[in-house]
């Protein structure tokens, strides 16, 4: 009987180990692929290859694509969003988030001629305005099997702004574009050794001070990037541990992105160290009102 138990324990441990290793696996083929959306199963099978790809998605969505920024400002303009300055990330100093109403944030970005401001980390905005149900309606197309955690975000920005070079640890991250045009730079995890990293566990945000759009670091020349364009109606799949930055180009349309993050139990187990740090810094006894800078309500 003991032998049977030992064999069962060994099999369970082996399965868990293999699943954790799979979660930590990193793709390194510096290519961007384009595919067609067919089924949830097929799109997530592609995602398991850990390589970035783009697909058309507008025909499956009837709500988010019908909510341009002007409509959101008119209907939810009094609700708050976080506004950040990308220069804080490039200067390698703790970035500060300013809380503005969506209406005020939109006015700020409209008058920003230098491409300085973007807005992210807007989970509370999505929940409080009631538009979370529109994100959840798309889970049946994007959410992987065995997912136990989902998070949604709204990404906005001034024309010309570039988002910090970032990576994530979720099992899936899909970025659905509903407004504007973008240029994307992506590089695999092996480029990490040529850059500094900032790990903001409180907000679960991992970024580099490297400005890949105006590089002055000698390490940049050793990295391999894939550059490509995406626009409204497309979804970009960002694999875990891939560094990426978006540049919002053009002034003919407002820039609006919807971010879908998903995690399975094995993904949570594989990233237990980072998640534990996140929970401790956000809810622990030393947790302050805001890590990495101040929050100012205007």
**Per the domain annotation, does 87 fall within a domain?**
yes
> Is residue 133 situated within a structural domain?
yes
> What pLDDT score does 284 carry?
77
Number of domains in the chain: 1
What is the residue-wise DSSP string for 22-71?
HHH--------EEE----HHHHHHHHTT---EEEE-GGG-SSGGG--HHH
pLDDT score of 14: 80
- Position 286 scores a pLDDT of 64
- Global confidence as pTM: 0.92
pLDDT at position 293: 39
Buried b (16+ CB within 10 A) or exposed e, 272-291: eeebeebeebeeeeeeeeee
The CATH number linked to 139 is 2.60.120.10
Does residue 123 belong to any structural domain of this protein? yes
Q: Is residue 6 part of a domain?
A: no
pLDDT tens, residue by residue, 126-177: 999 999 999 999 999 999 999 999 999 999 999 999 999 999 999 999 999 9
pLDDT value for 294: 38
- On whether residue 203 sits in a domain, the answer given is yes
- DSSP structural state of residue 270: H
Mean pLDDT, contiguous 10-residue spans, the chain (298 residues): 78 78 84 96 96 97 95 97 94 82 97 95 97 98 96 97 97 98 97 94 93 87 95 98 96 92 96 92 69 37
- For residue 240, being part of any structural domain is answered with yes
262 within a domain of the structure (yes/no): yes
Q: Evaluate whether residue 13 is within a structural domain.
A: no
Domain coverage including residue 252: 27-297
Query: Half-sphere exposure (CA, 13 Å, Cβ side) for 234?
Result: 19
């Amino acid at each position: 009987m003991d032998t049977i138990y030992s064999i069962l324990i060994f099999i369970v441990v082996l399965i868990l180990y293999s699943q954790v290793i799979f979660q930590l696996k990193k793709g390194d083929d510096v290519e961007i692929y384009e595919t067609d959306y067919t089924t949830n199963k097929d799109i997530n099978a592609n995602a398991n290859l850990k390589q970035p790809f783009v697909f058309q998605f507008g025909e499956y969505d009837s709500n988010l694509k019908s909510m341009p920024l002007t409509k959101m400002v008119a209907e939810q303009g009094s609700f708050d969003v976080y506004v950040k300055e990308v220069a804080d990330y490039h200067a390698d100093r703790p970035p500060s988030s300013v809380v503005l109403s969506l209406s005020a944030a939109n006015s700020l970005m409209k008058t920003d001629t230098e491409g300085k401001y973007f807005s992210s980390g807007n989970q509370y905005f999505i929940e409080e305005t009631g538009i979370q149900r529109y994100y959840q309606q798309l889970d049946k197309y994007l959410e992987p099997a065995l997912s136990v955690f989902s998070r949604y975000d709204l990404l906005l920005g001034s024309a010309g702004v570039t988002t910090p070079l970032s990576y994530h640890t979720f099992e899936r991250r899909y970025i659905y574009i509903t407004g504007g045009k973008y240029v994307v730079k992506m590089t695999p995890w092996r480029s990490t050794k040529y850059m500094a990293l900032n790990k903001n566990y409180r907000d679960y945000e991992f970024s580099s001070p490297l400005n890949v759009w105006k590089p002055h670091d000698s390490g940049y020349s050793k990295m391999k990037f894939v550059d490509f364009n995406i626009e409204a109606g497309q979804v970009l799949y960002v694999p875990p541990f891939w560094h990426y930055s978006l540049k919002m180009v053009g002034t003919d349309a407002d820039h609006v992105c919807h971010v879908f993050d998903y995690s399975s139990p094995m993904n949570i187990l594989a990233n237990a160290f980072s998640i534990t740090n996140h929970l401790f810094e956000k809810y622990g006894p030393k947790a302050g009102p805001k890590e990495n800078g101040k929050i100012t309500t205007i």
